[in-house]
Amino acid sequence: MKRLLVIAGSDSGGGAGIQADIKTAAAFGLYTMTAITAVSAQNTTGLSALKLMPAGLVAAQIRACRDDIGIDAIKIGMLGSASIIRAVAREIAVLDVPIVLDPVLVSSSGQRLLAENAIATLKTLLLPLASLVTPNLPETCALLGQHPRGLKGRVAAARQLIALGAEAALIKGGHSHERILRDVLVWPGGSLCVQGARLTSRHTHGTGCTYATAIACGLAQGLELPAAVGQARSYLQGAIRTAPGLGHGHGPLNHAFVPTPRTPRRRGTA
């Protein structure tokens, strides 16, 4: 059984964060460990309270998992502060495993989840450790200081993130107003536009967390990056289509949706 370490915040409503990550990894058959960076009082209508964990405690959680159970891949979500970012970077820098960084900056209800002065720390310390960074359009703008326009703009933004140290970048198009949803993946082997019809649904809470975790699962299981992204996107769409209809706001996905597995390929193939 492959082992996934998730470093992220807790969502009491279960739709995003650590809870969504655990459910997603379970759907892919992975064993999940966690390093919780924050505890939130949250549901489908919004975030009402948030408490960051001490950076030393976050680091201790990572070491406890790393030194005993072992890690095949890491997914990083909400971090909250520069001190937590520094602690995480110190602990994972010694590992040679795929690391998927989902730069969670703002909640779906609009509340900031990473201090603005910590963005530079994330870019300096964590981007160079990331096998893949997965920002949406507003997060891309916050990281680079400019909004990527159109497919060419997204490809250029992805290349800028790679120039800052990330091994690959996936610019997600969900926040655009396009009828066709386009995600742009750029990696050392090339670039790819993953597209499909936009699903109309209010049940979109935790989509970013779920997408990044599903990609990390595929990488842990030996898929090449483009295949892992394709598998994860298919799973995400199925989880949205079959959402259970819970809550009065942005509802959770159906994380129990059964993903369609893809055959692992040897590293270095397309």
206 is catalytic: yes
Q: Indicate the burial class of 258 (C-beta count within 10 angstroms; 0-12, 13-18, 19 or more).
A: exposed
Q: Which two tokens stand for residue 154?
A: 């997204």
Q: Which residues of 101-112 are buried (b: 16+ CB within 10 A; e: fewer)?
A: bbbbbebbeeee
**Which of 18, 99, 15 is CA-nearest to residue 53?**
18
Integer Cα distance of 48 and 195 in angstroms: 34
Distance in Å from the first CA to the final CA of the chain: 25
Please report, as a single letter, which amino acid is at residue 133: V
Q: Please identify which of the residues 2, 121, 209, 247 carries the catalytic annotation.
A: 209
204 is catalytic: yes
Q: Please identify which of the residues 32, 204, 210, 213 carries the catalytic annotation.
A: 204
209 is catalytic: yes
Q: Please identify which of the residues 37, 65, 172, 173 carries the catalytic annotation.
A: 172
Q: Please identify which of the residues 37, 207, 210, 213 carries the catalytic annotation.
A: 207
> Do residues 129 and 93 lie in contact, with contact meaning Cβ atoms separated by under 8 Å?
yes
172 is catalytic: yes
Q: Which backbone phi and psi does 223 adopt, to 5 degrees?
A: -75, 145
Q: Please identify which of the residues 9, 17, 80, 208 carries the catalytic annotation.
A: 208
Q: Please identify which of the residues 13, 206, 247, 251 carries the catalytic annotation.
A: 206
Q: Which backbone phi and psi does 98 adopt, to 5 degrees?
A: -60, 135
Q: Which two tokens stand for residue 185?
A: 């993946």
**DSSP letter assigned to residue 72:** S
29 is catalytic: no
141 is catalytic: no
Catalytic sites, residue numbers: 172, 204, 206-209
